[in-house]
Amino acid sequence: MKAQVFAPGSTIGIIGGGQLGRMSAVAASKLGFHVHVLSTEAQSPATEVVASVTVGAYDDPAALEDFASRCDVVTFEFENISAEGLALLEKHRPVRPAGEILRISQDRIAEKTRLSEIGVSLAPWRAVNGPEDLAGLETLGFPLILKTTRFGYDGKGQFRVADAEALATLQDLPYPLVAEKMIDFERELSVMVVRGLDGTVRCFDTVENRHRNGILDVTLAPARVMPDLALQAQDMAACIAEALGLIGIMGVEMFHAADGSLMVNEIAPRPHNSGHWTMDACLVDQFEMHVRAVAGLPLPPARRHSDAVMHNLIGPEDMTRVPAILATDGASLHLYGKAEARPGRKMGHVNTIFPRGALPGELALEGLLPPRIRGLRADCCGESSCGGHCR
């Protein structure tokens, strides 16, 4: 049966009330769509900008039935939702991306197994289903990192293991886990890839991400890598999107290893923090591309008209910089409408735009970025997957 196309005036349902839902809803409104959000809270970043809201749990059948009755097509803004709930929704409305893709991305073992089947390169890994699997990890090699298979993000649910002695001391771990050998990598790269109903695939430019305390701080667009490596990253992202039958947008995070190889770290089948630079450096940004794909509309080329530096505004310290950002030429501020600026909480981001081909060098970045994120090349990036091996 031919997949349904939804014209402007239709209602797009978004599961989740956070900032990604907020920015997706704004993009949908621009194209003439109505947006209905399912959120666990009546007051959230997304509910402030949409036409209507269902308040309820993501696994509550009654809330899901009410939500489905008010939408024409459904998407989601983050992975930590009920796959069973999505399966229920799929009985009533098209869900894009499909619930099966969400189920793969929710479980690191399922994700790595599927990516291995697709044939993309990964860091060496093992499934750890219980204490009996720990002894065999010595053959994987140290240092390594143990990650919970579900619900881990921004560095949460991760345990570094330096050597066999440290491994022997581990107790009461939240099994199942996945063990990954830590990679000596030059940089983290990512690609936002979108695939439409007709099979059209578009990739935004490959970008470089820098983290601190396990949270994304800075994205440089484009990544300062050789053109063939940037194209290889895009090809890998497109390969994954096609193999999964993706409808919508997906972030693909990768490690550029010190030996020059490229390895996929993880996928996120929804708009992604590392794609926020597109909001000011592309005519059609990641959120509009996602909405177009979900609705079945044509996908234009993912062209960058400017270079960009995106940095997140995290916690109360960064919010004190808002007046200065507002007064800065070339800086575009995006706040998420969150009432409380707690430490470690993403409150917004700012994109600083430069002419295409004029992305500042490292020394110029030192004067551009806030003190909190200066000098990341000199110190460990803080990314939990890094283990102190970044350069």
Tell me the pLDDT tens digit for each residue of 48-77: 999 999 999 998 999 999 999 999 999 999
Rounded to 5 degrees, what angle do the CA atoms 107, 115, 221 make?
95
The whole-number pLDDT of residue 370 equals 55
Q: What is the pLDDT of residue 118?
A: 97
Q: What is the spatial distance between Cα 185 and Cα 11, in angstroms, rounded to a whole number?
A: 44
Q: How far apart are CA 41 and CA 339, in angstroms?
A: 13
Residue 281 has a pLDDT of 98
Taking CA atoms, 41 is separated from 15, 54, 338, 360, in Å, by: 12, 9, 12, 41
* Rounded Cα gap, residues 271 and 24, in angstroms: 8
Place of tokens 């530096």: 309
d(CA 282, CA 300): 11
- 8 A C-beta contact, residue 88 and residue 72: no
Question: Taking every pair of C-alpha atoms in the chain, what is the biggest distance, in angstroms?
Answer: 61
Q: Which residues of the chain have pLDDT under 50?
A: 373-391
Please tell me the predicted confidence (pLDDT) of residue 52. Answer: 97
In 3-state terms the chain splits into helix, strand, coil percentages (rounded to 5) of 30, 30, 40
| Cα–Cα dist 94/248, whole Å | 12
CB-CB contact of 384 with 155 (8 Å): yes
Q: How many helices (H) and strands (E) does the chain have?
A: 12, 17
Sheet holding 144-148, edge to edge: 125-128, 177-181, 144-148, 158-161
Q: Which helix (H) or strand (E) holds 94?
A: none
Q: Which structure tokens are listed for 75? A: 């998407």
pLDDT of 156: 64
Task: Give residues with Cβ within 8 angstroms of 119, minimum separation 6.
Answer: 239
Q: How much is the pLDDT for 375?
A: 41
Which pLDDT score is estimated for 212? Answer: 86
pLDDT confidence of residue 322: 94
Distances (CA, A) of 140 to 121, 130, 132, 136, 149: 16, 16, 15, 8, 18
For residue 371, the model assigns a pLDDT of: 54
Q: Of the candidates 187, 345, 308, which has an alpha carbon nearest to the alpha carbon of residue 253?
A: 187
